[in-house]
Amino acid sequence: MGIRTKAIFFPLFLTISTLLFSQQKTNTSLFEKEIKKRSTQFSDKPNFNKAQSFYLAKEWDSTLVYTMKQLNVTTNTEELKNYCHLFRGHSFFQKKTLKEAKRELLMVSKTFYFYNRVKMILGTIALEQSKFKDATHYFKEIEHLSTYELYGIKKSNIEHNLGICYLHLKEFDAAEPYLIKSLKLQEEQKDTLGLIGTYGNIASLYYEQYKDQQAIPYFEKAYRLSKTTTDYTAKQNTARNMAVVEENRKNLSQSLVYRKEYEKWRDSLNDQNKIWEVAELEKQFAVKQKQKEVQVLQAENKIKIAERNGFLYSAIVLLVVLAAGVYFYREKVKTNAIITKQKETLDELNATKDKLFSIVSHDLRSSVHALKTSNTKLVDNLENKNLEVLDGLLQNNSAIVNGAYNLLDNLLHWALLQTQQSYFEITSIRLFFIVEQIAYNYKPLMLEKNVDFKNKVSKSDMVYADQESLKIILRNLIDNAIKFSNPDGEIKIYSRNTDDIYCELIVEDSGVGMNENTRLDLLKDSVLLSKKENENTIGTGLGLQLCKSMIKKNKGKFSVKSELGKGTKMIVSLPKTPPNG
């Protein structure tokens, strides 16, 4: 046979028209019910619940946002991850982002309950990407399953897609039985658009093999069936195929008739939106006409009701006015009370800020002045090459800088805490290792005062707290313990797990201790800073204030045991189970 014009190849058209989830409502409902039933085990995961709701509502962008939030949680089970990757893969698929969809779906475990559905999506993606051998592999794996076992995926879709794959691969003998089986299933389901596409694909199968006598009846069936639909795409494609068939049969006049029909449907498809707009306007006009009739009847009824119940309405209006007056008066009183309370809080915060600035600026000025004086001595002794004095001056400078750094670090965290900008994530923490980590940074300071340090925290003790804030608490308590320890003293940190709710972490030193009044002042729940008592050892008190605030935010408790001259115990009690809320 000579070269001839080809008919429209239906496989890609039909693949698009029979996408994975374009199913009957009952089947879709079956899948949704199964998803809801099997994912109830994750009812305590708010991000997953939101993702599931958006997924079932087909809001793909929101699904992607909340599944990513859930996947960022470190405590996810494999089952929960599988659901998230399925939701994300299907969402990307619907958004036509096939590469991302495939990447997400390949992360789903093969043991996942809905993995057969994952295979169907992967097969459809491969088909869309013209990777027909890959698509065949996926479809063959689920070919034997029923529509019920696939929770809504039609058996005819799998048969049809396998036929399309083999048709593209030019394996016509393999394609034919699948297309025929798909055709029979679609006839049982009375799937008109599916039948049009399948007729076209079977016709293309025979036409590719130059079996015109077998192909043309199917082209004609597709054309006749398209007449019964309102789908302009199906109409124009079948008309164009008939034009090609008649052109190849040298029946140019009839081909021209089909060609004009094809162009008409193509133009109709472009104008469809305008037609819908006109229809909508006509519908709105008819509705408005009806509304006018209803309004006339309503107006007559309103007049009668008003005449009969005028006094009642007046009484109701009067009561509403009185109620509104009482409501607004109470709201005004409530607002004034809130403003007064806010003013008192603001005054208290301003007082704290002023005191904070005063103490911090004094300490920073003292540190800078001490550093300046020390540097002058450093330069003088550098000229004399007095190495022993230089060593002492350098250590002194290091201590001054560390003190100023710790003060500024505490000031920053205190400010973040007061403005509610600090980030808290309560997780399970093993106390021994975090104590070991923080104490390691203070070994040089301990060596300088020849302080003996012991970490006696049990390696099995766990608490629930925010890790970063716990580090800040430990840094400040260890720093205080070193500061108040005598040379050749001892610092030990240990845990006490005798309570059902809390695990206690104790930082104990053998230093100068404190009297009872000072101990009680430290425990006061006040935003004001503690007073200075000794310029050589006592700082701003901001570090301890910061510790108390962070312990409170971690749902913990703080206490102090101390005697003057006999050392101090700083006791931090933290929850052993995740706090509620």
Tell me which residue of 16, 14, 13, 4 sits closest to 243, measured CA to CA.
Answer: 4
Count of Cβ atoms closer than 10 Å to residue 466 Cβ? 19
Name residues whose C-beta falls within 8 Å of residue 245's C-beta, 6 or more positions apart in sequence. Answer: 7, 212, 215, 216, 219, 255
* Alpha helices, H only, 114-251: 115-128, 132-141, 155-168, 172-189, 192-208, 212-226, 232-248
pLDDT band of 532, cuts 50, 70, 90:
very low
* pTM greater than 0.75 (yes/no): no
Reported confidence tier of residue 134, pLDDT bands at 50, 70, 90: very high
Q: How far apart are the first and last CA of the chain?
A: 79
CB atoms within 10 A of CB 47: 18
Residue with the two structure tokens 């007729």 = 199
Pair of tokens at residue 482: 């070193």
Q: How many residues are recorded in the chain? A: 581
The share of the chain scoring above pLDDT 90, in percent, equals: 23
* Res 82: pLDDT: 92
Q: Tens digit of pLDDT for each residue in 474-519?
A: 988 998 899 889 899 999 999 998 888 999 999 999 989 999 888 8
User: Comparing 520 with 379, which gets the higher pLDDT?
Assistant: 520
Predicted local confidence at residue 361, as pLDDT: 60
pLDDT digits (tens, 9 = 90+) for 302-325: 777 777 777 788 778 888 888 888
CATH of 11-153, one of 3.20.20.190, 2.60.40.1930, 3.20.20.10, 1.25.40.10: 1.25.40.10
pLDDT for residue 491: 93
Question: What is the distance of C-alpha 478 from the center of its chain?
Answer: 38
pLDDT at 364: 63
pLDDT at site 274: 57
CATH architecture under which domain 425-575 falls: 2-Layer Sandwich (3.30)
pLDDT tens by residue, 336-357: 888 888 887 777 666 656 555 5
Q: Which residue type sits at 139?
A: F
Would you kindly state where each structural domain of the chain is located, as residue ranges? 11-153, 425-575
Look up residue 41 and give its DSSP letter.
G
CA 346/CA 339 separation, integer angstroms: 10
- Write out the H or E segment, with its range, that includes residue 575: strand 568-575
| Neighbour-count burial for 233-243, b at 16+ CB within 10 Å, e otherwise | bbbbbbbbbbb
| Position 400 pLDDT exceeds 50 | yes
| Rounded Cα distance, 223 and 217, in Å | 10
